[in-house]
Amino acid sequence: MLNHHPMPEVLADYASGSLSLSHALCVAAHLEHCAHCRQMSDTLVHVGAQLFESQSLQLHGDSIDEGLKQKVFSMLDDETLQLDSAPVSISDQPASKPTSNGKAYKVPRCLSQFIKGSFDSLEWVRVSPSIKIATLCRDKDGSQVALSRVQPGGKMPHHAHTGDELTLVLEGSFSDVDGIYRKGDFILRNSGDRHKPVVTKDAECICLMVLDAPIQFTGFFTRWLNPILRHNHAFG
């Protein structure tokens, strides 16, 4: 049972399509784990459909050109336009190879565009003895999408950030002063939050992280990490 879900207005932005793609990636990964939010997100689509259906057409006041209708009908016969192929189903995704601890991790469907095969196939950059980071992409709006992989019991570096930070637990679990976060949990932190997450001792923890603005590690010990992360992101 998951305890941490996206707020309703985040799901509404997702259902309406206005959510940025990097945030939508985290929501989509959560939905793969959470039937409750899937249900909610479908209901939110009904809300949109209802608004769509009740649009005031007088507002735009023009009728549909008959020529446009004929054009669409002529395109129906166009054999060169192939039927859309069915989307890849979850079961078509190759399961990743067992890792050293013998577990086969499954890469979420929404991440399959970045991860061909297993998490191990990514270019992991070690940023501390217990932490590795793999950048998936960096968007033009400055947001960064990365995976973090922390050893059992490892401390996440103490960091502050200037924008929103989304975390989706893909494997394992971690905890901070507010509670424990397990596989599938969705965590949204606003700028200014300072938290000290620690991975639980039973297993390593892999998280999807979306940072709206580059994180700034704080504190004497982790200050040196900044240039490495920037380098890593810049070429992600």
Binding site for Zn ion (CB under 5 A): 5, 34, 37
The nearest distance, CB 128 to Zn ion, in angstroms, is 31
Please tell me whether residue 80 binds other proteins under the rule CB under 8 A: no
The nearest distance, CB 119 to other proteins, in angstroms, is 17
The nearest distance, CB 4 to Zn ion, in angstroms, is 8
- Residue list 36-55, contact with other proteins (CB under 8 A): 36, 38-40, 42-55
- Extract the tokens encoding 37: 């939010």
The nearest distance, CB 90 to other proteins, in angstroms, is 8
Task: Name the residue nearer to Zn ion (CB basis): 31 or 205.
Answer: 31
- Angstrom CA distances, 111 to 27, 115, 184, 188, 202, stand at 12, 6, 14, 19, 25
Please tell me whether residue 192 binds other proteins under the rule CB under 8 A: no
Task: Name the residue nearer to other proteins (CB basis): 88 or 223.
Answer: 88
- Residue list 121-140, contact with other proteins (CB under 8 A): 137-140
The nearest distance, CB 32 to other proteins, in angstroms, is 10
How many other C-beta atoms lie within 10 A of the C-beta of residue 129? Answer: 7
In this chain, which of 141, 190, 224, 231 binds other proteins, going by CB under 8 A?
Answer: 141
Strand ranges (E), the chain: 125-128, 131-138, 144-150, 159-161, 165-171, 174-176, 179-181, 186-189, 198-199, 205-211, 215-217
Please tell me whether residue 16 binds other proteins under the rule CB under 8 A: yes
Question: Which among 128, 204, 209 has a CA at the least distance from the CA of 166?
Answer: 209
User: If contact means CB under 5 to 8 A according to the sort of partner, which of Zn ion, other proteins, none does residue 227 touch?
Assistant: none
Task: Name the residue nearer to other proteins (CB basis): 198 or 213.
Answer: 213
Q: Using CA atoms, how far apart are residues 146 and 151, in angstroms rounded to an integer?
A: 17
Task: Name the residue nearer to other proteins (CB basis): 204 or 212.
Answer: 212
Please tell me whether residue 22 binds other proteins under the rule CB under 8 A: yes
Ramachandran category for residue 38: left, alpha or beta (phi over 0 → left; psi -120 to 50 → alpha): alpha
How many other C-beta atoms lie within 10 A of the C-beta of residue 186? Answer: 25
Give CA 144 to chain center in angstroms. Answer: 11
